[in-house]
Chain A
Amino acid sequence: MFARSPSPKVIPGFGLALGITLAYLSLVVLLPLAMIPLAAFRLAPERAWAVVSDPRTVHALALSFGTALLAAAVNAVLGTLLAWVLVRYDFPGRRLVDALIDLPFALPTAVAGISLAALYAPNGWLGRLLAPLGVTVAYTPLGIVVALVFVGLPFVVRTVEPVLEALDAEVEEAAATLGASWSRAFRRVVLPLIAPAVLAGFAMALARGVGEYGSVIFIAGNLPMVSEIAPLLIAIRLEEYNNGAAAVIALAMLAIAFALLLAINLLQAWNRRRIEA
């Protein structure tokens, strides 16, 4: 005879659900990612270091992360503004604009790269206007930022939009009755409330930008030490059958991206604990 201990959980299936989740996550995410360090560690440490410290690699990594950070920052500001307009105002064609936001998700990014390159080429519609100002977008790092802004835009809009929608209008009214101007109320009251969503959108846009390949290679010009991104360098090494070097660069990207995303998540968690604990 033994007494069965009563289950303390009301929601059933925890064990099964967790098991499936972990198995799925391992199969789809962890296992493929684990191949990268495995491949990288097959290289002798000094050879691996030579690959990472190669100025061309360093430049490519700096360029990838720098342009992705810049593009994510631009998207954080403009995406928030766009979400604001979509949530707060009702205007003819609002639904159309709303649908347009998701297009960068749906389009093969190579198509975006080709159209952007055509648009910003020195003889393109926009490139022609910018050339007299001394601004060249196509085949420069600036072109990479433009491409990354394009592919990253939906992330910020789609994360900020629901939060803005759920925002209690009374909070803004309270700020108004207390004498706050609109801009001050936005900065002191609304912005802190939507900041976690903006940051989450920023993180996703950043992650997407770091890994972006298709749209960038068409507009970047891909000059080593000027406009060559890390994913392209990896592809080049693979084409040279230099799988070890490719894996080392990939591992470096993985480490930096992981550190960045972890930092953002910690910031989010700290902010949540601060106001809710």
Chain B
Amino acid sequence: MRIEIENAVKTFERGERPALDGLSMTVADGELVALLGPSGSGKTTLLRAIAGLEGLESGAIRFDGEDVAGLDARDRNVGFVFQHYALFRTMTVEENVGFGLSVRPRATRPPKAEIAARARELLRLVHLEGYERRYPAQLSGGQRQRVALARALAIDPGVLLLDEPFGALDAQVRKELRRWLRELHDRTGHTTLFVTHDQEEALELADRVAVINAGKLEQIAPPAELYAHPATPFVCEFLGAVNRLDTPEGIVYVRAHEIDLTPPGTPHALAATLVAVRAAGPRVHVELELSSARRIEAELSAEAFAATGYAVGSALSARIRRKHTF
């Protein structure tokens, strides 16, 4: 299902900055899109507006070209996975997954056995066979998250919406689930939007990443393009460690790993003094002081740094391989 958002505006409190401030974007059918932004940027509000859990003040949301403004959340056929899963704790895992089918009006409700079979099939899909009779309280965080996903998939939604799907999980489980979600998407092909504030997660998982700031869309692009050609200073600053330099030609952003350490006097390079070294595993962060007393950070592999032979106090040159000027 294709989703178009046009000029979405939403203000929660009168006089406050709007949560959505004229945001427009389109998500293609079958696409996996990440909504990336700092907290309070409006990304969750956008997700809730698409689901019908939040109304818009103005603007439109269209599913396959059809305006859904008049449709209640229960009639939009969206699968929503909440940040804290919102499982029904008085129901078993199987009842949770089958809920969407069991509350259909009598005319379209499948028979009980069919609902149970469908729930078991989905639990197999999310690798939770054997957990049918458990209650949510008896599951780990990662398992609950997968039950929530199976429950959302059970209604065969036109679009799958996930709010910080990995936010409450520890790093190990996060990585695993991330890969697994990508596989699942490739298999089922649901149009999927997920909210995250973790740029690594967004870049690794999504077909396209929508960077949202202060209720507006900064840029939507495939991860590689977003990284190579940031459209705005915000996108540039939000993605990875970046140095900001004020030069006569304007504000220049330089990524830490796009700076080479070269011998003093290298042409087209900045004279600098090495003032600090922080080794973080295989990567080394080097702090440099330019002649203008401005400090910048460079990042290189531990081997490459060892090969230069520089230490704190060394005079050297910083050669900028690539810069983004705005």
CB pair A276–B74 under 8 Å, yes or no, is: no
Residues of A within 8 A of B75 (CB): 179
- Among A181, A189, A192, the residue within 8 A (CB) of B74 is A181
Residues of A within 8 A of B152 (CB): 177-178
CB pair A193–B89 under 8 Å, yes or no, is: yes
CB pair B137–A171 under 8 Å, yes or no, is: no
CA of A177 to CA of B100, assembled, Å: 9
CB pair B89–A275 under 8 Å, yes or no, is: yes
Near A by CB (< 8 A), chain B positions 276-321 give: none
Q: What number of B residues sit within 8 Å (CB to CB) of A?
A: 31
A168 within 8 A of B: yes
Q: Quick one: given A188-B99, A188-B103, are A174 and B74 in contact (CB under 8 Å)?
A: no
For A177, the closest partner residue in chain B by CB is B80
CA of A168 to CA of B86, assembled, Å: 8
- The smallest C-beta distance from B71 to any residue of chain A, in angstroms, reads 12
What's the A-B contact tally at a CB cutoff of 8 Å? 77
Residues of B within 8 A of A46 (CB): none
B228 within 8 A of A: no
A176 within 8 A of B: yes
A175 within 8 A of B: yes
Q: Quick one: given A178-B100, A181-B103, are A171 and B88 in contact (CB under 8 Å)?
A: yes
CB pair A178–B99 under 8 Å, yes or no, is: yes
Contact with B along A170-194 (1 / 0, CB 8 A): 1101111111110011001100110
B51 within 8 A of A: yes
B120 within 8 A of A: no
Contacts A181-B103, A188-B99 known; 11 new A-B pairs at CB < 8 A:
A173-B86, A175-B88, A176-B73, A177-B51, A177-B74, A178-B100, A178-B103, A178-B151, A178-B155, A179-B104, A275-B135
Nearest 5 CB-CB pairings of A with B: A192-B90, A178-B100, A170-B86, A180-B103, A174-B86
Interface residues, chain A, CB within 8 Å of chain B?
168, 170-171, 173-181, 184-185, 188-189, 192-193, 274-277
